[in-house]
């Protein structure tokens, strides 16, 4: 399992800074084995919106508001790496979708996201915000429920059992030495 936590530049940032961030994020994602569960989450400053036309395989129609420029970059990253944006898949009330409230409490945005490999999409049962978490931030806590079935990792050979030489315990002198050493130890 690979968990990638990140904070993207804001929408008003310089394009060079955004390009550098997404290139670096792409290099981190590429280091994760494709067969493993990969979770990408964080403050991506991307308003993905409700229009999923052309992006049906990476997002649902349950986003919030309209797309911004960061959302295009984020959607391209998700499409290239076959990641699904969890917060757009599940229907919830507006207050359970908004991840950030403006300081004047007038604007709500969905800019924090949890994404998962498309291969493991069915393990994600729900994604929503928890508004009661006291985290001293203008962001709400985003929670994903995952149902994982973990398999035992079988090794390719049997590990050798450690055998003890009990022949010494048949000798009464050695047995007494062992008992004394054991008593002195504790």
Domain count, the chain: 1
Q: How far apart are CA 90 and CA 82, in angstroms?
A: 18
CATH number at residue 69: 3.60.10.10
Q: State the pairing for strand pair 124-130/141-146.
A: antiparallel
| Pair of tokens at residue 116 | 């998962």
- Whether residue 153 is contained in a domain is answered as no
Q: What is the pTM of this model?
A: 0.77
Let me know: does 77 contact 26? Beta carbons within 8 Å: yes
- Whether residue 17 is contained in a domain is answered as yes
- Whether residue 180 is contained in a domain is answered as no
- Whether residue 155 is contained in a domain is answered as no
User: Tens place of pLDDT for every residue, the chain, 186 residues?
Assistant: 999 999 999 999 999 999 999 999 999 999 999 999 999 999 999 999 998 888 899 999 999 888 999 999 999 999 999 999 999 999 999 999 999 988 898 999 999 999 999 999 999 999 999 988 877 888 999 999 999 887 777 666 666 667 777 777 788 888 888 888 888 886
Burial class from Cβ neighbours inside 10 Å (0-12, 13-18, 19+) for residue 156 reads exposed
Q: What is the span of the domain harbouring residue 39? A: 2-146
């Amino acid at each position: 399992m690979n968990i990638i936590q990140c904070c993207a530049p804001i929408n008003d940032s310089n394009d060079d800074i955004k390009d550098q961030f997404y290139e670096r994020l792409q290099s981190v994602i590429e280091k994760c084995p494709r067969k493993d569960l990969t979770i990408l989450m964080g403050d991506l400053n991307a308003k993905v919106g409700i229009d999923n036309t052309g992006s049906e395989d990476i997002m649902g129609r349950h986003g919030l508001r309209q797309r911004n420029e960061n959302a295009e970059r984020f959607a391209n990253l998700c499409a290239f790496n076959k990641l699904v944006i969890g917060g757009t898949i599940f229907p919830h009330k507006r207050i359970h979708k908004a991840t950030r409230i403006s300081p004047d409490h007038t604007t709500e945005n969905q800019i924090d996201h949890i994404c998962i490999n498309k291969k493991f999409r069915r393990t994600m049962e729900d994604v929503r915000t928890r508004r009661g978490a006291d985290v001293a931030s203008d962001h709400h806590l985003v929670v994903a429920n995952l149902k994982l079935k973990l398999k035992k990792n079988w090794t390719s050979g049997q590990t050798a059992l450690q055998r003890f030489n009990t022949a010494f315990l048949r000798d009464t002198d050695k047995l007494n030495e062992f008992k004394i050493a054991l008593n002195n130890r504790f």
